[in-house]
Structure 1
Amino acid sequence: MAKKRFYGQRILFAIFIAAMALPKQVVLVPLVRIVNFMGIHDTLWAVILPLIGWPFGVFLMKQFSENIPTELLESAKIDGCGEIRTFWSVAFPIVKPGFAALAIFTFINTWNDYFMQLVMLTSRQNLTISLGVATMQAEMATNYGLIMAGAALAAVPIVTVFLVFQKSFTQGITMGAVKG
């Protein structure tokens, strides 16, 4: 889509860039209304789905898509590939590191997003580990050892995901930054 030129493309991209500057607190009320309308409030999907379409993801994937050589897309069209076949056979393998980097960013952002979890999740059974650690603090007595163990446990998935996907992550980040 980043390679296709259409009327208002620059304005649309400027809107996405401006949306990146907005904090989550600004879009919270409409987001809660949408989540309630979809019927997914107080589920983990209420935390995950809003971050999938966040403007940063659109920006990152646009940068990767612009790195696809136009000659490859044109040769696929000459060879008889349709739009979908061109995407899956030509474009997607090139932007796959970008998808990997975006998936890692989204996972880490969702995992660490205390505010969105606090608003979207209300029942104790759906609390994430970061909210669970925060609820361990009591007014009179606080078990700091348990809180530190919970905080260390909360860091394990992030470190694991990064170590497992480190090559894809660094390849994805550097590929989007280099224009050749």
Structure 2
Amino acid sequence: MHASMPFRKKPKKLISNIVLLAVALFFIFPFYWIVTGAFKVQNVAVAIPPEWFPHAPTLDNFTVLFKNPVWRWTFNSFFVAAAEMAGVCLVASMAGYVLAKKQFPGRKIIFTLFVAAMALPKQVILVPLFTMIADFGWIDHYKALILPAIGWPFGIFLVKQFAQTLPGELLEAAKVDGCSELRLYYSIVLPLLKPALGALAIFTFINAWNDYFSQLIMIRSTPMMTLPLGVATLKGEYTTPYGVLMAGAAFASLPMIVIFLLFQKAFTQGITMGAVKG
């Protein structure tokens, strides 16, 4: 009777694998369509029925794409995303650690406000944020994209939840040995927060790279455009060069793939934090 159990489990496992494969293909297909479309001429890119694989691939779309200041747009996107990633990780690591391990009046209220802020869509605060940035004279500048995003409530929430799992005995022992608060944070807390910060780094970089809405509102000049914003401007007034747009989208997706591969180990550890209790 027990010997038949593995055979009963095999159909369920096979079905679950088929379902997971179907879901994976469903989510991968748009990316596949963009990449293959980048090598199609205009009439083939919009043909019905579609050409699932380019029979006569061409690099003309990339030639047209790089006639624009794409490298400048790419630099802008990298600079904004990297600066925002570093700022969010720094602020979130400090704020999350303090909210998790320090006792002070109003700690729970402050954390509740951060959680409540996560429910606010960006469009709600756009008008006062734009007015403030305009008063500061930051419109069409890197500061307009980087500084408002540094205090990301989700980042503080993520790090705070992970910091709660840090052993309090270790922190107390460091204080007894005469470790200053700054040294405690830099030498002990920060290394222990690496899994959470790795996941947060990916989330922040992708969020900053794809933040088309804020970039559209805050940026005015072509040299200051980021890559998603610059690619969107390639759409013509009367025609839409789908092949060029797909080439731009494929090119813009490469940095995100590289960032994920670099932080993949920390990312998988970060998203499973708290799943196992010691």
The code of the aligned residue for 1:167 comes to K
Q: Indicate if the aligned counterparts of 1:73 and 1:86 stay in contact, CA closer than 8 A.
A: yes
1:19 aligned partner:
117
- Aligned pair 1:79/2:79, yes or no? no
Q: Kindly state the Cα deviation for residue 161 of structure 1 after the two structures are TM-superposed.
A: 0.7
- Greater alpha carbon shift after TM alignment, 44-53 vs 73-82: 44-53
Query: In the aligned structure 2, how far is the partner of 1:69 from the partner of 1:59?
Result: 19
The code of the aligned residue for 2:212 comes to Y
- Aligned pair 1:116/2:214, yes or no? yes
Runs of at least 4 residues of structure 1 off by over 6 A?
none
Deviations 1:112-161, CA, capped at 9 Å, x for gaps: 11111111111111111111121111221222111110011111111111
2:134 aligned partner:
36
Could you state the TM-score of these two structures normalised by the residue count of structure 2? 0.61
1:166 aligned partner:
264
Larger radius of gyration: 2
Could you state the TM-score of these two structures normalised by the residue count of structure 1? 0.92
1:15–1:34 distance in 2 versus 1, CA, 3 Å: same
1:53 aligned partner:
151
Q: Kindly state the Cα deviation for residue 39 of structure 1 after the two structures are TM-superposed.
A: 3.6
Consecutive unaligned residues in structure 2, runs of 5 or more = 1-97
Q: Kindly state the Cα deviation for residue 38 of structure 1 after the two structures are TM-superposed.
A: 4.0
1:165–1:146 distance in 2 versus 1, CA, 3 Å: same
The code of the aligned residue for 1:17 comes to V
Deviations 1:55-90, CA, capped at 9 Å, x for gaps: 111111111221111000110011111111111121
- Aligned pair 1:128/2:196, yes or no? no
1:40–1:177 distance in 2 versus 1, CA, 3 Å: farther
Q: Equivalent residue of 2:259, what SS?
A: helix
- Aligned pair 1:146/2:244, yes or no? yes
Q: What is the root-mean-square deviation in Å for CA atoms of aligned residues?
A: 1.6
Q: Kindly state the Cα deviation for residue 177 of structure 1 after the two structures are TM-superposed.
A: 4.7
Query: In the aligned structure 1, how far is the partner of 2:112 from the partner of 2:196?
Result: 21
Percent identity, aligned pairs only, is: 59
How many residue pairs get aligned? The number is: 180
